[in-house]
Amino acid sequence: GGGIDEVRTTLASYTLTSEVENLTYIGSGNFVGYGNASNNVIVGGAGNDTLFGGAGADRFVGGAGIDTVSYGDSAAGILLNLKTGVHGGIAEGDTFEGIEKFVGSSLGDVFVANDQPNDFNGSLGVDLLTFAGEGAGVTLDLNATGSDLFTSIESFEGTAFNDTFVGTTANENFIGGAGADVINGGAGRDSAWYISSNAGVSIDLAAGTVAGGHAEGDVLSGIEGLAGSAFADVLNGDAGANTLHGAEGDDVINGGAGNDILYGDGIYSTEFGALARPANTQVAQADVVNGGDGDDTITGALNDTGSVYHGDAGNDTIQTTNGKAYGDDGNDRLVGNGFAYELYGGAGADRLDMMSAGYAFGGEGSDVYTIYSKAGVVIQDTGSAGVDVVVLKNIQTFQDVVVQNDGVNAFIFSKADWNAGNLDSGVMLSNWYAGSNTIESFQTNNGDTFTIT
């Protein structure tokens, strides 16, 4: 009804109904209390209580015991700023009295500590503990035992001054920010991110050199991964298995030896949690990415027009939207899914997956071209070694196949799509009748095989 209503309970767990604002535990044990979408006051008892406020500007009073406020019921990441008291998400407007622990959502949360003992549990998602607003450099040793406890938090951000970070055996991400920072990732697979840098960075993990933008003056050790800035970066890996993100900008990325994961894209993947930014498909990213030795995975940006990717040695996987992908040596898989990509298999038995309109040249070796598009696909093959196959996913059976030519090129259609006046509506075999007729077999979606003479 009207007014401010309260439930007082001795039950070990209680959830407020929608018409009641306040909840008070008057029992003697540990209590789990749930608020609702209203502005609630939730009061614990003498035990170790766990309190959920839900939406609304809630006031939490823990009472005696070790009490926890949890945002595990949130459908989005939250900002919890104990320094300013200004929070975000469903934590907006919340206040805390006698609360010792905080638990985040299942998504990417941001935590800001104050000068009191802090106990943050990020829970699921890629979470961030940030010191960006501090007026002096910080030292954070995640192995130290002290009054602060940070659990299930994956990323740590420093200040605009000289910071020191020491990681644990877990996989952690460090953002030093401006200043000459010392970042020791420790064991595990750790990364240094320069996504907030005001200029491009140049980092070589093998040589130990770090320069440019927020990287200037930094000292990195125990770091296996890098993320660049919104500008033109140069990121070089080492002999180990590296994960390198170019982020935005026209970047040069070299994996080096080892089985590397290389991204020319921006920071819109879930790996960046609360720091992820929306993908910008309007601005092309002309990246140069070289896998080096090892079996590498290279993923281009959503708009990678002008980008060039080389797998180099090893069995590599390269995915591009509108760039040029070169498998080079090894048995590679190249995937094109834009409208103007180019795939070059090189040596080895390669797989060239053409999800949409584009160009593919298998090179030497037994290559498999898999075609998913009905039009705009161009294949050229002059390799003399191996047995090459074209799989036409857009044509169901051999009875549906129509083959035409213009005297130089061959064109493959399904009967449903065939237009004698528009050869471009089929799959083009470039220069088929001018020496590029080295594909031995064609296969429809149901497995029927045929040849073209």
Report the distance separating Cα 159 and Cα 196, nearest Å.
12
Domain count, the chain: 3
Residue-level pLDDT at 169: 97
By mean pLDDT, which of 220-224, 263-267, 414-418 is the weakest?
A: 263-267
In a shared domain, residues 108 and 144: no
Helix (H, G, I), strand (E, B) or coil at 67: coil
Q: Which of 73, 105, 125 is the last residue of a domain?
A: 125
How much is the mean pLDDT over the chain? 94
301 in a domain, yes or no? Answer: no
In a shared domain, residues 96 and 211: no
Position 246 pLDDT exceeds 80: yes
418 in a domain, yes or no? Answer: yes
In a shared domain, residues 441 and 335: yes
Q: How confident is the model at residue 248 (pLDDT cuts 50, 70, 90)?
A: confident
Of all residues in the chain, what percent carry a pLDDT higher than 70? 97
In a shared domain, residues 272 and 156: yes
316 in a domain, yes or no? Answer: no
Report the distance separating Cα 8 and Cα 259, nearest Å.
59
- What is the mean predicted confidence (pLDDT) over 127-156? 95
- What is the mean predicted confidence (pLDDT) over 236-256? 94
- What is the mean predicted confidence (pLDDT) over 139-147? 93
| Cα→Cα distances 95→53, 56, 60, 157, 258, Å | 11, 11, 6, 25, 49
Helix (H, G, I), strand (E, B) or coil at 274: helix
- What is the mean predicted confidence (pLDDT) over 257-270? 82
Domain coverage including residue 211: 134-281
| Cα→Cα distances 380→141, 323, 411, 427, Å | 56, 17, 12, 11
* pLDDT tens digits, 318-362: 999 999 999 999 999 999 999 999 999 999 999 999 999 999 999
**CB-based contact 321:301 (threshold 8 Å):** yes
In a shared domain, residues 379 and 345: yes
Burial readout 65-85 (b: 16 or more C-beta within 10 A, e: otherwise): bebbbbbeebeebbbbbbeee
Position 266 pLDDT exceeds 90: no
* pLDDT tens digits, 39-86: 999 999 999 999 999 999 999 999 999 999 999 999 999 999 999 999
* pLDDT tens digits, 371-380: 999 889 999 9
Residue-level pLDDT at 420: 67
Position 282 pLDDT exceeds 60: no
Residue-level pLDDT at 1: 60
Report the distance separating Cα 1 and Cα 384, nearest Å.
84
Report the distance separating Cα 193 and Cα 420, nearest Å.
55
In a shared domain, residues 178 and 258: yes
Report the distance separating Cα 145 and Cα 415, nearest Å.
72
In a shared domain, residues 118 and 186: no
Q: How confident is the model at residue 3 (pLDDT cuts 50, 70, 90)?
A: confident
In a shared domain, residues 272 and 349: no
163 in a domain, yes or no? Answer: yes
To the nearest 10°, the Cα dihedral for 262, 178, 82, 69?
A: 10
In a shared domain, residues 254 and 337: no
Q: Which of 281, 315, 341 is the last residue of a domain?
A: 281
Report the distance separating Cα 90 and Cα 77, nearest Å.
9
Position 2 pLDDT exceeds 90: no
In a shared domain, residues 205 and 343: no
Q: Tell me the Ramachandran region of residue 82: left when phi exceeds 0, alpha when psi lies from -120 to 50, beta otherwise.
A: alpha
295 in a domain, yes or no? Answer: no
Position 279 pLDDT exceeds 70: no
- What is the mean predicted confidence (pLDDT) over 139-145? 94
| Strand order through the sheet with 50-52 | 13-15, 32-34, 50-52, 68-70, 101-103, 119-121, 149-151
Report the distance separating Cα 395 and Cα 417, nearest Å.
10
Residue-level pLDDT at 422: 81
292 in a domain, yes or no? Answer: no
Report the distance separating Cα 325 and Cα 341, nearest Å.
8
218 in a domain, yes or no? Answer: yes
Q: How confident is the model at residue 425 (pLDDT cuts 50, 70, 90)?
A: confident
| Cα→Cα distances 159→32, 102, 277, 281, 344, Å | 37, 23, 21, 31, 45
Residue-level pLDDT at 419: 75
Q: How confident is the model at residue 37 (pLDDT cuts 50, 70, 90)?
A: very high
In a shared domain, residues 217 and 274: yes
Residue-level pLDDT at 386: 87
Q: How confident is the model at residue 451 (pLDDT cuts 50, 70, 90)?
A: very high
403 in a domain, yes or no? Answer: yes
DSSP 143-200: T--SS-EEES--EEE--SS--EEE--SS--EEE--SS--EEE--SS--EEE-TT-SS-
- What is the mean predicted confidence (pLDDT) over 145-157? 94
Report the distance separating Cα 436 and Cα 416, nearest Å.
27
* pLDDT tens digits, 76-91: 999 999 999 999 999 9
Structure tokens at 100: 């010792």
In a shared domain, residues 118 and 138: no
Q: Which of 241, 265, 281 is the last residue of a domain?
A: 281
Residue-level pLDDT at 125: 94
Structure tokens at 246: 């170019």
